[in-house]
Amino acid sequence: MKTQTHIHLALLRDLSIQTSPSPFLSPPTHFSFNISFSRSPGLRTTSLILSLSLSLNTMQRLTILLSLLFLLSTSTTFTRGHNITHILGKHPSFSTFNHYLTLTHLAGEINSRTTITVCAVDNAAMSELLSKHPSIATIKNILSLHVLLDYFGTKKLHQIREGTALAATMFQATGSAPGSTGFVNITDVKGGKVAFGPEDNEGNLDVFYVKSLEEIPYNISVIQISKVLPSDVAAAPTPEPSAMNITDIMSAHGCKVFAGTLIANPEASKTYQVINK
């Protein structure tokens, strides 16, 4: 009697094997197996189906099955989700950039995405940005412009079709960027350099690719660029959440009665603002 076994594993490698019959087993014993694997783009989990069709006794079937599982476990690399904090943690000269990714909660957003590029700047470049004393909300807008929603490894950067590409950023995805100001122009310029420039920078390309920090192909690329991307829109002063008029926000979202109660009671309004800081 033939026995069929199905085993589902999470893998990140395309694999297709089919063997029948086995040259190591003499007739009438028959052994065949096939392994098929497929992955849908953008999905972190994939499925592998292993089918065994055997005309062997129980001990032979068990021995072959265990051998195949051992082979798969020793020859297949399982890929886990990336962690931008850990990646940048290996590079002390990017500690300030890393710190503000965490402080603005961009790190979590980056970790939740795939097919992404982080354009990091070193501590010196971050010091120049911080010397202007922007709010945390403004820093988040600026840094979100440095997160491209596409994968650009070193090879791809130097092989851009027609020499230029336009990449959407996390800043564009927030809806805070009017028009196409949340896009970044990437151009392969003369001398093997790759230049970057926001769409609202009047075509100026004065920020350059420096080096790759880490690449997990088609998942995440972390690269260094020469300085912070200049963008008047991203750098525009943005009020902190606690500085916004909470009663105006409530009124605009259908909570006029509750907003009116807070206005009538200044102490309650003050308490509510503190709680929501």
Across residues 156-171, what is the average pLDDT?
A: 90
For the segment(s) 84-225, the CATH number from 1.10.150.120, 1.10.10.10, 2.30.180.10, 3.20.20.70 is 2.30.180.10
Please give the Cα distance from 186 to 168 (Å, whole number).
11
Tell me which residue has tokens 């392994």.
35
pLDDT over 60 at 23, yes or no: no
User: Is residue 123 within 8 Å of 96, Cβ to Cβ?
Assistant: yes
Residue 201 is predicted with a pLDDT of 79
**pLDDT tier at 63, thresholds 50, 70, 90:** confident
7 has pLDDT over 70: no
Average pLDDT over residues 245-250: 61
- pLDDT for residue 26: 45
- The segment(s) of the chain belonging to CATH 2.30.180.10 are 84-225
Q: Distance between CA atoms of 223 and 186, rounded to whole angstroms?
A: 13
pLDDT for res 14: 39
pLDDT, one tens digit per residue, over 89-142 is: 999 999 999 999 999 999 999 999 989 999 999 999 999 999 999 999 999 999
Question: Higher pLDDT residue, 23 or 219?
Answer: 219
Q: What is the CA radius of gyration of the chain?
A: 27
Of 187, 99, 186, 177, the residue nearest 141 (C-alpha)? 177
Q: Which residue(s) pair with 148 in the sheet?
A: 117, 169
pLDDT in tens, 141-150: 999 999 999 9
Mean pLDDT of 9-19: 38
Average of per-residue pLDDT values in the chain: 75
Residue 59 has pLDDT above 70, yes or no: no
What is the percent of the chain where pLDDT is above 70? Answer: 59
What are the tens digits of pLDDT across the range 209-224?
A: 999 999 999 999 999 9
CB 107 within 8 A of CB 81: no
Confidence of residue 53 (pLDDT cuts 50, 70, 90): very low
Higher pLDDT, 6 or 62: 62
- Report if pTM > 0.75: no
How far CA 128 is from CA of 66, 71, 122, 153, 230, in Å, comes to: 59, 53, 10, 27, 12
